[in-house]
């Protein structure tokens, strides 16, 4: 029997889905965090909820450390380690405000957490201790992304801080966001040349690390996730970005309920999927690029909530080469 191109995952969380992450080297297992205080593990191939555990408050992000260990953080200010095999949980430590982002940094075998307390912390997962706290120039951490030694942190004051994980005594560079409005998300290119970031005002920017003028003139921003109705332009936040690790194209998800795939290097949109149930709150390509997890959650964007109130939904789309490969 041919596999469906897209599957709706059963037993989705009951509140906003904050993050979806595929396990390393597989498109079978998906970790999902939610405002319903749960972190869930799904077996996507069999469409089953394999496991769930809870924080005491909404969970804002989650990540795999390896195929069985996870880290998560949220509004309880706590960084939680969880072993999916033994079901043992361990509170690694805390921030002074909500933990907005968690990432595994394989190069230093550490866990990075970014918080609204305006710091990033580095944790040693084996010793289970904090090994560094780094001030983010007075900005709350809204999004962060790391690839090998590079860490990019986007903050509430529209700043972007670039760090080298091998020398964390100070940031390498502090930039102003090239987008005029609040940053929603940032993701590093798989080839380490730069990063893509999005804002609440229907725009995405591609930026390069290399400070030379020849590289800096390659950077650009473009409008997306907008629609015209009766001559009025509706502009939506771009909430999610995920890179295809093989082709280096990327997906964006917006509060318009659409997912687009872009070839950023050739400045082209490759495709747009159908409209989803509500805002796209998180996206994640599997490591081999064969599957894209798509989380839909109504995030209180409208002045009056729609009727009926949209339930969060979760999909996995098995993307084709045609949809993701540069033309």
Digit-coded pLDDT (tens) for 205-236: 999 999 999 999 999 999 999 999 889 999 99
**Which residues lie across from 103 on neighbouring strands?**
112
DSSP 8-state class, residue 14: S
Closest by alpha carbon to 84, among 53, 54, 112, 55?
53
Cβ atoms of 237 and 201 closer than 8 Å: yes
pLDDT value at 1 more than 60 = no
Q: Dihedral through CA 137, CA 141, CA 142, CA 146, nearest 10?
A: 100
pLDDT value at 302 more than 80 = no
Which band of pLDDT confidence, cut at 50, 70 and 90, is reported for residue 2? low
pLDDT tens profile 11-70: 999 999 999 999 999 999 999 999 999 999 999 999 999 999 999 999 999 999 999 999
Closest by alpha carbon to 57, among 69, 32, 75, 39?
75
Compute the distance between CA of residue 67 and CA of residue 65 in angstroms, rounded to an integer: 7
Compute the distance between CA of residue 141 and CA of residue 160 in angstroms, rounded to an integer: 10
Tell which CATH architecture fits domain 6-323: 7 Propeller (2.130)
- 194-212 burial, b if ≥16 CB within 10 A, otherwise e? bbbbbbbbbbbbbbbbeee
What percentage of the chain carries pLDDT values higher than 90?
91
Phi first, then psi: what are they for 196, rounded to 5°? -115, 135
- Residues sharing a CB contact under 8 Å with residue 145, sequence separation 6 or more, in sequence order: 103, 151, 152, 186, 187, 188, 195
Q: What is the pLDDT of residue 303?
A: 79
Average pLDDT, the chain: 95
pLDDT tens profile 89-119: 999 999 999 999 999 999 999 999 999 999 9
Q: ω before 91 within 30° of 0 (cis)?
A: no
pLDDT tens profile 139-152: 999 999 999 999 99
**Which residues lie across from 269 on neighbouring strands?**
262
Q: What is the pLDDT of residue 272?
A: 97
Compute the distance between CA of residue 237 and CA of residue 198 in angstroms, rounded to an integer: 8
């Amino acid at each position: 029997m041919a596999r469906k191109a897209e599957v709706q995952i059963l037993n989705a969380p009951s509140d906003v889905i904050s993050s979806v992450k595929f396990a390393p080297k597989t498109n079978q297992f998906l970790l999902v965090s939610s405002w319903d205080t749960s972190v869930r593990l799904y077996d996507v191939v069999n469409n089953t909820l394999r496991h769930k555990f809870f924080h005491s408050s909404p969970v804002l992000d989650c990540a795999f450390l390896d195929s069985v260990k996870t880290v998560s953080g949220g509004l309880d200010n706590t960084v939680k380690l969880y072993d999916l095999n033994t079901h043992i949980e361990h509170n690694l430590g805390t921030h002074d405000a909500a933990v907005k982002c968690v990432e595994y940094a394989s190069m230093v075998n550490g866990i990075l957490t970014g918080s609204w307390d305006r710091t990033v912390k580095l944790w040693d997962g084996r010793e289970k201790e904090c090994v560094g706290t780094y001030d983010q120039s007075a900005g709350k951490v809204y999004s962060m992304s790391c690839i090998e030694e590079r860490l990019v942190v986007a903050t509430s004051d529209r700043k972007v801080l670039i760090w080298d994980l091998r020398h964390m005594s100070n940031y390498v560079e502090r930039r102003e966001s090239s987008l005029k409005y609040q940053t929603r998300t940032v993701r590093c290119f798989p080839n380490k040349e730069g990063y893509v970031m999005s804002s609440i005002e229907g725009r995405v920017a591609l930026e390069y690390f290399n400070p030379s003028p020849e590289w800096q003139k390659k950077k650009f921003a473009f409008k997306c996730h907008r629609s015209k109705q009766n001559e009025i332009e509706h502009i939506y936040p771009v909430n999610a970005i995920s890179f295809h690790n093989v082709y280096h194209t990327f997906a964006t998800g917006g509060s318009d309920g659409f997912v687009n795939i872009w070839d950023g290097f050739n400045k082209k949109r490759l495709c747009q999927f159908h409209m989803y149930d509500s805002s796209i709150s998180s996206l994640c390509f599997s490591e081999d690029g064969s599957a894209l997890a798509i989380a839909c959650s109504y995030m209180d964007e409208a002045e009056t909530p729609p009727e009926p109130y949209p339930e969060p939904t979760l999909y996995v789309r098995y993307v084709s080469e045609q949809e993701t490969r540069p033309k």
